[in-house]
């Protein structure tokens, strides 16, 4: 079974996100995709010593599988404590797979305004894209069978771990 050190990958992500934010100065903001991406954005905000707050965004209302998943599957509501119009968004997620969540989140972002740019940074890119979406930065690239699920977990002290499971075993 694949073993990934989520804390080591987080350190790589932090180093990769720093120049993405610096490229746009004070106009750059972190927005994490609920839930794993939001956890990452929260910790990045703190560890990079950035003033202000980070945003959290949900893909729920723009998912192409909303009829099957409903509201419960999408998590918390979008919280963006800053103006999106004209902002340089560094969008953070834990795992990039098909690209469908990213598509939904970009649609959600545009409901709040038109950002100057949206740059994607992910902890893990597992390939398998169904849409033409790519991360500007990925701390790791892994190949997993389509039947496997890769989930980020966070313990009570905020440390990250990964859980890799065969989806068929979860049913």
| 138 falls within a domain | yes
pLDDT attached to residue 124? 98
* Full domain range(s) for residue 91: 6-66+78-170
Higher pLDDT, 59 or 170: 59
Provide the CATH number for the domain around residue 30.
3.40.50.2020
pLDDT attached to residue 11? 98
| 73 falls within a domain | no
Q: Would you say residue 59 has pLDDT above 50? A: yes
CA 135 to chain centroid, in Å, comes to 10
pLDDT attached to residue 62? 81
Domain count, the chain: 1
Can you spell out the DSSP letters for the chain?
-----HHHHHHHHHHHHHHHHHTTGGGEEEEEETTHHHHHHHHHHHHTT-SS--EEE--GGG-TTHHHHTTGGG-SPPB--S--TT-EEEEEEEEESSSHHHHHHHHHHHHS---SEEEEEEEEE----SSS---SEEEEE----TTEEEEEEE-TTS-EEEEEEEHHHH-
| 72 falls within a domain | no
The H or E element spanning position 123 is strand 117-125
pLDDT attached to residue 66? 53
Average pLDDT on 62-89 reads 76
Please write the tens of the pLDDT for every residue from 102-113.
999 999 999 999
| 89 falls within a domain | yes
| 44 falls within a domain | yes
Least confident of 13-17, 24-28, 59-63, 88-92: 59-63
Q: Would you say residue 73 has pLDDT above 80? A: no
pLDDT attached to residue 77? 85
The sign of the torsion formed by the CA atoms of 156, 158, 164, 165 equals positive
| 130 falls within a domain | yes
């Amino acid at each position: 079974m694949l073993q990934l050190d989520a804390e080591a990958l987080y350190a790589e992500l932090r180093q990769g996100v720093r120049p993405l934010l610096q490229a746009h100065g004070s106009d750059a903001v972190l927005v994490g995709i609920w839930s794993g991406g939001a956890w990452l954005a929260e910790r990045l905000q703190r560890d990079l010593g950035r003033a202000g707050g980070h945003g959290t965004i949900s893909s729920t209302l723009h998912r192409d599988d909303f009829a099957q998943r409903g509201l419960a599957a999408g998590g918390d509501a979008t919280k963006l404590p800053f103006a999106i119009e004209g902002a340089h968004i560094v969008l953070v997620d834990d795992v990039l797979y098909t690209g469908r969540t990213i598509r939904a989140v970009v649609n959600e972002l545009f409901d709040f305004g038109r950002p100057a740019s949206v740059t994607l940074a992910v902890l893990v890119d597992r390939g398998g894209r169904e849409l033409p979406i790519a991360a500007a930065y990925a701390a790791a690239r892994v190949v997993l069978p389509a039947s496997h699920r890769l989930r980020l977990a966070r313990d009570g002290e905020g440390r990250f771990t990964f859980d890799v499971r065969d989806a068929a075993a979860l049913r």
